[in-house]
Chain A
Amino acid sequence: MATNVLICDDSSFARKQMKRALPEGWDVEVHFAGDGVEGVEAIRAGKGEVVFLDLTMPNLDGYGVLEAIRREDLPAMVIVVSGDIQPDAQERVRKLGAMAFIKKPIDQEKARAVLTEYGILTGA
């Protein structure tokens, strides 16, 4: 069955870039969210088994999304994809339960490496 992947970023360009970076041959259904509020809704609706999450977003930022996931105990594996690459930011999101951190700009290689490392991508 296809994995539900949610790409949550306020930039349509970044969403497009992210989608392009998904490994070829990975059986997924891709959903999009334009800010944190939409993102949390999509995760509640089960569209975010794997979430690629931006940090700097209007309305609700990435940190807020991580908090909501934790608070509501939502089933989502979150990979933060952010331009904010300060060591502090990486530590903060890990503490909030993010599985991995990818530095923007994203590319196929980085995405594949992380997905493989955490066993999300197998055999594809």
Chain B
Amino acid sequence: MSNKRIKEAPITMDTFLKGVWEENPVFVMLLGMCPVLAVTNSTINALAMGIATTFVLVGSGALISLLRHTIPRQVRIATYIIIIATFVTIVDYVIQAVSLELYNALGAFIQLIVVNCMILGRAESYASKNRITKSIVSALGMGTGFTVALLCLGTVREILGAGTLLGFPIFGADFEPWVIMILPPGGFFVLGSWLLIFALLKQRKTKMEGLARAR
């Protein structure tokens, strides 16, 4: 790694925004689907999961980036997992300290952040190759993208499945909640719909680009 120490590109807004839009972990890379489907049955759960994952991404990214020249290649995956597990354990305790109700709602999915392939993927492909500041900015971007994606699912599922937003009822008493939306199948339906929207957007963009080129 040290033999090709070319000058790194400076940190731009793009370093951050790439994770939010262009390389969105959920809608573009389809990583970390397990929490995306499992804990997005309400807005608050989605938000908490997103923040917890962002914290782990940033913490592990920073530490891995800091140690990138000392970690031998042969044991890098084991090392990354230890570092990620450390931050997950910290998050686990912090959430219990913040709210037991939230902790019970998220259940085993906090511990399961360890095996979220997005985090290990970012450690391997980005944090281990870039400076600490850049890794942190990129991890923040990825975390924001993940949180936004979880919120996209969480709000839609909560509104349709429970008729509430952040626990406050938004429809009249006549509204019959669409319960399936907060059950597991609803997660697949809503994720599928969002992916469809993003695919349509992408298709339109390439079409427009094709037209522009033809002209």
A and B pair up: no
Q: Please report A residues at the B interface, Cβ cutoff 8 Å.
A: none
